[in-house]
Amino acid sequence: MSNRTGMAAKFRSGVWNDNPGLVQLLGLCPLLAVTTTFVNGLGLGLATLLVLTFSNVLVAATRKLIRADIRIPMYVLIIASLVTCIEMIVLAWFPSLGRSLGIFIPLIVTNCTIVARAEVFASRNNVASSFMDGIAMGSGFALLLVAIGTFRELIGQGSIMSRLDMLVGGEPMAGLVLVDGGFLLAILPPGAFISLALFVAGKNAYDRRRQQTSRALSTNRTR
C-alpha cells in the first residue's frame, strides 16, 4: 500500500501540485506555439513524455559514471539522442503530424523541464524512482498541452479533435464540430498567452478555495 500511495502522490505532484507548465512555467515555447489543436497538443505531449521518461532513466542509470563537471553536456547529449529517435519515428509513422509540429519536435532538446528533472531528480535517485518521476512530470506536461489545445481549438474553430487522422491514419477528419466558426484570436499567439493565463488563474483559484475549505473544517473540528 505504501508503494501505491507514494506512486499516487508522485503522479498527483507532477500533474497538479508541481506541474512543469502550470506551476513551474517551464517549456512555455512549445506549449504556447503548438497548442492550436487537440491533436498537436497530444502529439507533442506524448513525444515530450517519452523523452522525459527515458532521459530520466538513462541519467539515473549512468549517474555514477558521469563526471560532475561535464554532467550538463552529457544530459543534453542523452536528451538530443532520444529526441532524434522520436523525431525519426514521428516522421516515419506519422508524417502529417511531423509536418504539423515542424521544428518543435527537435526543440524538445531545449525544453527546460527535461534538463531540470535530469539535474534535480534523476542524477540523485535510482532508475525506478527516476522512471516514475519522468512518467509523472511528463504526464502533467502532456495533459496541460492537451487541455490548452482542446480549449483553443474549441474556442477558435468550434470543433474538437479535428485532423485526428494525423495520429490514427485514414482520410482527413473534421472532428466533432460543435459551433459553425469560432473566435480567431484563440488560435493566434495572443490566444496562447491568454489561454495559459486562464488555466493558471483557474488552478490558483481552485487551490485557494480548497485551502480555505480545509482551514474552515479544521476550525470547526477544534471547536
Q: DSSP of 77-135, one letter per residue?
A: HHHHHHHHHHHHHHHHH-HHHHHHHGGGTGGGGG-HHHHHHHHHTGGGS-HHHHHHHHH
State the residue range of the domain holding 135: 2-222
Residue (of 131, 139, 84) closest to 108 by Cα position = 84
Q: What is the pLDDT of residue 90?
A: 95
Alpha-carbon gap, residue 77 to 67, rounded angstroms: 14
All three cell numbers of 193: 498567452
Residue (of 1, 9, 11) closest to 131 by Cα position = 11
Amino acid in position 42: L
Write out pLDDT tens, residues 119-162: 999 999 999 999 999 999 999 999 999 999 999 999 999 888 88
The residue ranking higher by pLDDT, 179 or 68, is 68
Q: How far is CA 90 from CA 81, 121, 171, in A?
A: 14, 28, 18
Mean pLDDT, range 201-205, rounded to an integer: 95
Mean pLDDT, range 87-103, rounded to an integer: 93
Mean pLDDT, range 173-177, rounded to an integer: 80
Q: What is the pLDDT of residue 1?
A: 45
Write out pLDDT tens, residues 118-128: 999 999 999 99
Total count of domains within the chain:
1
Q: How far is CA 151 from CA 33, 103, 160, 173, 214, in A?
A: 14, 23, 9, 18, 30
Write out pLDDT tens, residues 45-63: 999 999 999 999 999 999 9
How much is the pTM? Answer: 0.92
